[in-house]
Structure 1
Amino acid sequence: MFEKATIVKRDVFYSEETMIQLLSLILLACSLFASAQPKRVVTVATGEYPPYTGKQLANDGFVNHIIRLALESQGYQVHFEYLPWKRSFQSTNLGQFDMASYWVCEPEYADSFYCSDEIYKGNLLAYFRKTTPLPKWENIYDLKKFRIGATLGYEYVPEFHKAVEQGELDVLMVTDDKHSLNMLFNDRVDLVLLSDVAMQALLIKAFTPEHATLIHASDKPFLAYTAHVLFPKSREGSLVLKNDFNKGLSQLKRSREWDRQWQRLLNAEFHPDAAIN
């Protein structure tokens, strides 16, 4: 009833040009598929420390912009949540955020956090009025007779916190750097602790050029530090996220994009009135 079908086998050959076109179409399809996939949104707990971090700063400040660039290069979207510093640290430790920007990697954090590679190196300096210069000092206990203005939630050397708790240093804690510097100008404290870049940004934003001529920094850094991002061990996927961030950060440094952003920092281009770049 039915005739048996005869299958004729033919060898099909494609030219090199056709093969290249087919391969290009396959790669394009893969690229479109990948780009269509939703990117994971990473939530970052952070605080206000101009010009490094800040809601009103261009690009959220130098550090947060570096974080954004590093993660976006690895396919993530980034959202920053601005909180008081102490709360941002504690909330991240509880796993409420993917990461915390930005902190010194203290040894005692190792049980709770993975620490990123170094974002930048910095110095915390002791600023004083030129009319009442500091004597030469070797350790924080040489500053016992001075009243120090410090900011709640900031990291200082462990010896500093220990000395404060034991009442060996006279420290007045306030909520922000502007308040602290105002106290220095009004003779309520003898010195304040701030990085050189942060001090310059604060003077530009909140004070007059005349104010800048009234203070000076100690030649000896109060604290030499490296800045990092913390990833909570309480949150699943933190180790993968840390590795992805480090990869993106390394790419920024190799490509010299990190250097370009650092120069923007030195040029005060993260100031709120600066153009976003």
Structure 2
Amino acid sequence: MRSIRIIGRMPKRRRASWWTRRGGYLLVVAAVLATVAVVIAGMRLSPTKPDRPVTISTADWAPYVGEDLPGGGPLAALVRLVLAQQGYQASVDFTTWDLALSRARQGQALAAFPLVASRERAATLLASDPLVDFEYVLFRDTSLSAPDVDEASDLGELRVARIAGYDYWPALDDAVGQYVEFDTSADAFRALAEGAVDLVAEGRVAGETLLNSPELDLDAARFAPLDGDASWLRSTESLRLFVAADADGRRLIEDFNRALADVRLTPEYRALTSSLASEKSGQTVRLDALDGSPVVLQNEAGETLAVLPRGSSAVVLEWPEVFGVTASAALPTRVKITSGPGRGKVGLVDLALIEMEG
């Protein structure tokens, strides 16, 4: 399996402000992932008193794990909960996927998670029982004709984006001659939007979460998984925890799997994993006009992109620079619509139409 390495990152489009990326996105996912805090606060298990501090390594991959997600994300909360049954008090270190695995392999971290099992990883690491299952898919640009992939060999003629640190399923690896590798999923989707690649291999829920977040200034409705049930087009995989393949690691994995089996029977497990079963569509602001007229979403030229019903939800991608300084009601504010018929569209609305939620 070979990859064409993209040096550096793709040129980025206009990015959201620091407040929006760090604070606004937290509000978007908090509504869905609030169960994390509830579970931690209301545990009904009786864990051994955590008295041994350890570090576990992972990478940002919303909605599963993320430095800006409540509790580090539902899978971070799940792994900490399981390790607590073993007498560990785990703190989560966010880095890259490759470094997370390296730290677990070298004993610099107790474990790395959540990742899929592969032959390469099995050579130096031990994998836990599944934490949760997810679906890998191939995202395409729906503004273009769908590529013809009736046979696995057809994928060898296409430019398929691979994310650094990911391991994909064997049928895809066998079908793709050369991947085009990107540092992040965001870079890969920007390349897809710009026509630099034909497909992006990513988890369905993770891809949809990213496309609907302020991290990407793209129209989420423009992208969708490629249709088809062939083994080279999609695969259901398990996310696991990995430890070093030594005697201590074997004991740790055995204990972890026993504790995980107990946790799986609890309401806490169902609460944490159910938040990953559906698409994320949080609400940061509500759009409404005081005179009762519809909300108009425009582009920078003032042309109408969509007429939205009152009460439509949106994520603010960028506040006007004078926000908080003047009280002008004619300031265009860049938003991504997250509900209703305009869902996924990006454009400008008057600041006066924005009502804060919560």
Which residue of 220, 224, 235 maps to 1:216? 224
- Could you tell me which amino acid in structure 2 is paired with residue 191 of structure 1? L
Contact 1:57 1:270 in 2 (8 A): no
What is the letter of the counterpart of residue 145 of structure 2? T
Matched, 1:263 2:274: yes
Tell me the equivalent position of 2:111. Answer: 99
**Equivalent of 1:195 in 187, 199, 203:** 203
- % identity of equivalent residues: 23
Alpha-carbon contact 2:118-2:167 (below 8 Å) kept: no
Structure 1 distance, partners of 2:159, 2:279, is 30
Q: CA, structure 1 residues 58+266, in 2 after alignment: closer, same or farther (shift >3 Å)?
A: farther
Can you give the 5+ residue segments of structure 2 that lack an aligned partner in the other structure?
1-47, 285-358
Distance 1:95 1:53 in 2: 21
What amino acid is the match of 1:237?
D
Q: Secondary structure at the match of 1:97?
A: coil
Task: Give the whole-Å Cα distance in 1 for the aligned partners of 2:272 and 2:223.
Answer: 28
Letter in 1 for 2:69: L
- Per the alignment, residue 66 of structure 1 pairs with 78
- Give 2:145's aligned residue: 132
- Residue 121 of structure 1 corresponds to 133
- State the alpha-carbon separation in 2 of the partners of residues 211 and 78 from structure 1: 38
Q: Using the alignment, how far apart are the partners of 1:256 and 1:265 within structure 2?
A: 15
Question: How far apart in 2 are the matches of 1:202 and 1:269?
Answer: 9
In the TM superposition, what is the alpha-carbon distance from 1:204 to its structure 2 partner? 2.0
Establish whether residue 182 from structure 1 lines up as the match of residue 194 from structure 2: no
For the structure 1 residues 251 and 244, does the alpha-carbon distance in structure 2 shift closer, same or farther, using more than 3 Å as the test?
Answer: same
TM normalised by structure 1 equals 0.74
Could you list the per-position Cα deviations for residues 207-243 of structure 1 after superposition, in whole angstroms to 9, with x for gaps in the alignment?
A: 46x7122122123343321111111024x63223222
Q: Which amino acid aligns with 1:124?
A: Y
User: Residue 248 of structure 1 is aligned with which of 254, 259, 273?
Assistant: 259
SS in 2 for 1:134: coil
Pair 109,199 (structure 1): closer, same or farther in 2 beyond 3 Å: closer
Q: What is the rounded CA distance, in whole Å, between the counterparts of 2:175 and 2:106 in structure 1?
A: 28
Deviation at 1:108, TM superposition (A): 4.0
Say if 1:162 and 1:91 are closer, same or farther in 2 by CA, change over 3 A: farther
Superposition pairs of residues 152-171 of structure 1, within 5 angstroms: 152-158=164-170, 168-169=177-178, 171=179
Report how far residue 126 of structure 1 moved: 0.4
The residue aligned with 2:55 is: 43
Given that 1:58 and 1:269 are in contact with CA atoms closer than 8 Å, whether structure 2 keeps it comes out as no
1:190 and 1:118, CA in 2 relative to 1: closer, same or farther beyond 3 A? same
**Matches for 1:226-245 after TM superposition, within 5 Å:** 226-234=238-246, 237-245=248-256
Secondary structure of the residue that 2:101 maps to in structure 1? helix
Counterparts of 2:201 and 2:122, CA distance in 1: 26
Contact (CA 8 Å) 1:150, 1:174: kept in 2 or not?
Answer: yes
1: distance between equivalents of 2:252 and 2:155?
42
Task: Give the number of the structure with larger relative contact order, counting CA–CA contacts within 8 Å between residues 6 or more apart.
Answer: 1
- Distance in 1, Cα, partners of 2:253 & 2:95: 22
Gaps of 5+ in 1: 1-33
TM-score, with length taken from structure 2: 0.58
**Per-residue deviation, residues 13-63 of structure 1 (Å, max 9, x unmatched):** xxxxxxxxxxxxxxxxxxxxx85xx71122112112111121111121222
**Equivalent-residue separation in structure 1 for 2:121 and 2:156 (angstroms):** 28
Q: Deviations over 1:67-122 (max 9, x none)?
A: 01111233210011122111221232122221111222223433422221111111
CA distance in 1, matches of 2:117, 2:252: 17
CA gap 1:122/1:267 in 2 versus in 1, 3 angstroms: closer
Q: In terms of Rg, which structure is larger?
A: 1
Higher strand share: 2
Code of the residue aligned with 1:254 in structure 2: it is: L
> How many pairs were matched up?
231
| Counterpart-to-counterpart distance in 2, 1:101 and 1:93 | 12
CA contact (8 A) 2:66 2:72 kept: yes
